[in-house]
Structure 1
């Protein structure tokens, strides 16, 4: 870890005015936060961590908090790849491009609401914005039909399968699960052939690996994936690096006959996931802020999304223990986040 970041961590632990203010602002916004150190190893490192930041041009000086653009939903489209065209929404013939076209014509122009100082910068509720963030992911589609994709919808923690890689398929996906007017239950009565499930993991870890956009993320992602795998398994968690095929399990549509019933079923399933101790790690396309590599987003079943930057293997054990297991935010590496507020709760997993 660079001396600049180490200095910031020490300043936080020692209670510098700026660090103390960040912590207090997060607390005041009802965000579960911890004063635990981000770095879990000695400095210099005594655990043979691969500190890629020492050989990459990482921005260690700018304030990261506030570097996340608000969005209503974020979708991660199956590609089975770890690198993509520079602009995934402009790659002809891809679902990302088709969905971007549909969203432009059908989506809302609602601008993010000002939090008027009620939340730290970059920390927002998904209801405050209408923007759709479209990502490609490393997971493979469920369908044997190569023209169909499997899409993860966030922060809803939902999976939609059988999405045709066409303009019509993108429109069906948008109307079924992405339209900002919909809650996480989406639409129950539909004429399409899409199937949906709850994402069956206790947490989802997204790691930017988009080399053609910025090589720093491509260097960081596989190293961080290995580190998360190591520390999660050490804690007794089951770790997947591809989305488990859900087609052998009943879809939500087959179990619920109304939107109300579907919503109740979803909530019941989501609440049961924390005890599963299962994590899914995926690589994804550019999310912004590549100068802060490694970039890591952690989603919980409740729908909270924690955006961390400047993550190296030095910080992974602390992230696993304090954020993934305890559901608390580490302020110093926080870029921002969605739906982090938990009034009266102690964890991002609490309902």
Structure 2
């Protein structure tokens, strides 16, 4: 497909009305920043022709299991007797069971996020006990053992959904302490999360592109005093982390953004280092302005006023 054909295809696919109906706005600046000199290696090849719009399915709940790693086995949640597998199995068994979620689907991912409370070098312990970030609720389930996953999530998730539906601002975490004394619940205070697929065992392109994107994002966030390093939990910052395979490696780099205050979720693809400043300025600082040609999915969740 030539350049002219690409232009005709993209011009004919006007998603403006759908963008507005989903509660988003079109970005008012270019997706490219000419001042950025960083580039991906020329040897990497990507699909720059296929339509990205709605190329991934919506979901109502996303579990992010902390591992402290940047790469994982080919099936990152498939190894039995691990926390991530227990969470993924629960998600698969309970998809469609909860009223009040925007979609019946439940997604499970592993990430480079790590816990200050675990022995980071103790791989065996981390496979059994760990932390789970629950999005779009921006709440942490900490120190949960894989044997507790079924009972705890089946108890906690319905109450969390009900809490949000009632527009409450304070969930009584003490009510869970008697039955699950080792588990700790915490509200996350970052304004946004940015996830980049770095799953090299699934596709080498992600293992190469994700670190380059992360470096560029963090440079810009530092300039804005929004960057949060490991162990820095200062509120209202932006946390950047690696994540396992999310689909569409041929569309690298995939960038997944969660905005806490508005409940918005943005999946971007075909992202390059020279797109980083516009992404931060438009998607994060301007509350979810997007470029339809680079969007795989946009969702607006009923957010919680923690």
Given the alignment, which residue of 55, 79, 88 partners 2:76?
88
Mapped contact 1:306–1:340 kept (Cα < 8 A) = no
Runs of 4+ in 1 over 3 A off after TM superposition: 108-111, 144-147, 177-188, 241-246
For these two proteins, the number of residue pairs brought into alignment is: 286
Counterpart of 2:291 in structure 1 is 330
- TM superposition score normalised by structure 2: 0.81
Counterpart of 1:285 in structure 2 is 244
User: Quick check: 1:239 aligned with 2:198?
Assistant: no
User: Quick check: 1:150 aligned with 2:109?
Assistant: no
Specify the SS of the correspondent of 2:216: helix
Mapped contact 1:209–1:285 kept (Cα < 8 A) = yes
Inter-CA distance 187–337: structure 2 relative to 1 (3 Å threshold): farther
Q: How does 1:1-351 map to 2 (within 5 A)?
A: 16-18=11-13, 21-41=14-34, 47-52=36-41, 54-105=42-93, 107-109=94-96, 127-144=101-118, 146=125, 147-164=128-145, 166-177=146-157, 182-184=162-164, 188=173, 189-190=175-176, 191-193=179-181, 194-234=183-223, 236-242=224-230, 244=232, 276=236, 278-302=237-261, 303-327=263-287, 328-339=289-300
**Root-mean-square deviation over aligned CA pairs:** 3.3
Unaligned stretches of 5+ residues in structure 2: 120-124, 165-169
Inter-CA distance 134–309: structure 2 relative to 1 (3 Å threshold): same
Inter-CA distance 182–216: structure 2 relative to 1 (3 Å threshold): farther
Unaligned stretches of 5+ residues in structure 1: 112-125, 247-272, 342-347
Mapped contact 1:38–1:332 kept (Cα < 8 A) = no
State the distance in 1 between where 2:88 and 2:158 align. Answer: 12
State the distance in 2 between where 1:39 and 1:217 align. Answer: 20
Mapped contact 2:137–2:304 kept (Cα < 8 A) = no
